[in-house]
Structure 1
Amino acid sequence: MSFDYIRKLPTPDEIREQYPVPDSLVPIKQKRDAEIRDVLTGKSDKLLVIIGPCSADNEDAVCDYINRLAKVNDKVSDRLILIPRIYTNKPRTTGDGYKGIVHQPDPEKKEDFLHGLIAMRHMHIRALSETGLSAADEMLYPENWGYVSDILSYVAIGARSVEDQQHRLTVSGFDLPSGMKNPTSGDFSVMLNSVYAAQHPHRFIYRGYEVQTNGNDLAHTVLRGATSKHGRNIPNYHYEDLQILLGLYNERDLKNPACIIDSNHSNSNKQFDQQVRIVKEVMHSRHLSPDIHNFVKGVMIESYIEEGNQKVGGGVYGKSITDACLGWEASERLIYDLAELNY
């Protein structure tokens, strides 16, 4: 095998022991987890708003953003649950480009996985400590889940990961909401199969152990648009798409039917400013149909301090170095609009 074993990294238990979650934060996260669960099980009419940078590339800027979010949260918490995106792993279609803070704690320097794992955990703990908002992250590498499993309140499984068996089986061992995105092909059946797999118990190999899971009843779907065989982006957030997905849910034995709409990626044709229009259309669809209202539990929005994006080393504080994001002023207005529209 052409592998060079560079160094042995600390286990999740070792990292968690060195960088524990302060006892004072545990009940705050537990309360958040319970509130999010109530939305996905239908006990609460609040809307989940998973919002934040495409990739969490800079701890100071990300925590600055989340502190701003926390001030808005105080004004809308009766109607919305704001879940900040702290996405520390960035999938790359070709393997090139910035892969997230776990790979590169400093985007302008070489990979450093030891410090990357520490930086990932440190950022999540700092954000929760400063704001009381537990966050969402994407599980790009199932074996890395344990490094942050005690901090997160939401996990996303990306369009390129959702068909992978190890991702599906690992999610079946989670005790928190896990959004399974539709694959880049847009196939709803693939996405629903992933939800079915995640909701049921499994026995498999994980980090060198034989493990048994109980199934995750909070696994659900996320619509993020699709890409045709000709490379054209195809949205799937429209009223008709939601009706079709709900009908497919009703044909299957799945718990807690729920869908989140990702307003960027292929749904927006990567036009970040279109996210405002898209989430408002989703809210309109919820008003037109009580069934869709009960089914669509939230939205995902890519947002940062400065709008758009820049290349690595661009030097603009709070501006994405991956996908283009909505700026803070537009994001703040949109959150208030969502609160008004969630009736």
Structure 2
Amino acid sequence: MNSPANTHVSTSNLRVSEFEPLPTPQELLAELPQSEAQAAVVDRGRRDVRAVMAGLDDRLLVIVGPCSIHDPKAGLEYAERLAGEAQRHAGELVIVMRTYFEKPRTTVGWKGLINDPHLDGSHDIATGLRAARSFLLDVAALGLPCGTEFLEPISPQYVADLVSWGAIGARTTESQIHRQLVSGLSMPVGFKNGTDGGLQVALDACAASAAAQSFLGIDQGGRAALVSTAGNPDTHIILRGGKDGPNYSANDVAAATQRAASAGINPRLIIDASHANSGKDHIRQALVAGEIGAQVASGSTAIGGMMLESFLAPGAQKLEVATTRAADLAYGQSVTDACMGWDATVDVLEQLADTAKSR
């Protein structure tokens, strides 16, 4: 009788084409270290955000900047201009620069500077991590705190020490992984309401991330590890509208604040003037900011801050990863959502400073 042939069948990683080692968080932090002065900027930003969202600081928090950072040179020019505005309005506004390096996609598309720094589908993540960390260091050197959306659960180990405020987007607020992640982050974090406009997922997210959690992650040496956290008490809700339209009216704000208070969640809110609240219309975004500012000027203490999408040039341009050459892109214009231009941004910040002063 013939012995049977070797019939062992491989069942592992059948659709994985390659594993490429990355630097560990420890290695990247040693390569691009944070100075004492830069750490002080990050810490000051976190303390200012906490104070505003706790109602201990009557200034208005404004998270403003490009929808995404795709060109660090243009992004840094924007940061230099914004640092001047932050200093000019320091008595009325706490300005945090929006520095988004990871972009969630509904289907496919450019996933952000960390995932694809060359904008060509090469996914050179090692270079992307260095580019993101270098950019955050450069902005901190200007004295300007940074805010970002956390999308991948591993990337915060490489950059979170340079972030003063974090956000979890509408697509991921319901994700257990992201709630666990936030429970261990060192900065205040806002959860957006769901894409359908529902608020309950954000309330649940705040409660879950305030609790101690244990989950699978990596340590600073890049090893798989059991991560145990103490919970993050500095979470809040971000109203960004939904499929049925905006949710920034005085009635919407009052309802959200009441539900948050009833759930034991921070009743102070941040309102995103972009996305569904402006119909993704960068021109209307300034009008929305003015309408929200009017609530602040009338004495509303429920609104702690506002989010704005802004870049050097107004609007947006199309980036097709497979065909667009980075050299052909217009300088200082968004490649994701349309943004207000710089001149409009200056005007809006001026108006918001006046409204905060009135309050």
Q: Select the residue among 262, 275, 278 that pairs with 1:268.
A: 278
The alignment status of 1:153 with 2:164, answered yes or no, reads yes
Q: How does 1:1-343 map to 2 (within 5 A)?
A: 1=13, 2-94=15-107, 96-108=108-120, 110-129=122-141, 131-207=142-218, 208-228=224-244, 234-254=245-265, 256-288=266-298, 290=299, 293-312=300-319, 313=325, 314-342=328-356, 343=358
The code of the aligned residue for 2:128 comes to G
Q: How far does the alpha carbon of each residue in 1:131-172 deviate from its partner, in whole angstroms, 9 at most, with x for none?
A: 110201110111111111110001110000111001001101
Q: How far does the alpha carbon of each residue in 1:250-280 deviate from its partner, in whole angstroms, 9 at most, with x for none?
A: 21122x3321111111111111111111111
What is the DSSP-based 3-state SS (H/G/I as helix, E as strand, rest coil) of the residue aligned with 2:315? strand
Structure 2 residues not aligned, in runs of 5+: 1-12, 219-223, 320-324
Deviation of 1:109 after TM superposition, in Å, equals: 5.7
The code of the aligned residue for 1:321 comes to V
Alignment partners' CA distance in 1, 2:256 and 2:18: 45
The code of the aligned residue for 1:167 comes to H
Structure 1 residues not aligned, in runs of 5+: 229-233
- 1:231 is matched with none
What is the DSSP-based 3-state SS (H/G/I as helix, E as strand, rest coil) of the residue aligned with 2:119? coil
CA RMSD for the aligned pairs?
1.3
Alignment partners' CA distance in 1, 2:312 and 2:336: 14
Deviation of 1:15 after TM superposition, in Å, equals: 1.1
Deviation of 1:117 after TM superposition, in Å, equals: 0.9
Alignment partners' CA distance in 1, 2:120 and 2:237: 35
Percent of aligned positions that are identical: 34
Q: Over alpha carbons, which structure has the higher Rg?
A: 2
Deviation of 1:107 after TM superposition, in Å, equals: 1.6
Alignment partners' CA distance in 2, 1:323 and 1:31: 29
Q: How many pairs does the alignment contain?
A: 332
Alignment partners' CA distance in 1, 2:35 and 2:297: 42
Alignment partners' CA distance in 1, 2:134 and 2:186: 22
What is the DSSP-based 3-state SS (H/G/I as helix, E as strand, rest coil) of the residue aligned with 2:75? helix
Deviation of 1:201 after TM superposition, in Å, equals: 1.2
Q: How far does the alpha carbon of each residue in 1:311-337 deviate from its partner, in whole angstroms, 9 at most, with x for none?
A: 234521100011100000000011011
Runs of 4+ residues deviating >6 angstroms: none
What is the DSSP-based 3-state SS (H/G/I as helix, E as strand, rest coil) of the residue aligned with 1:142? coil
What's the TM-score, normalizing by structure 2? 0.89
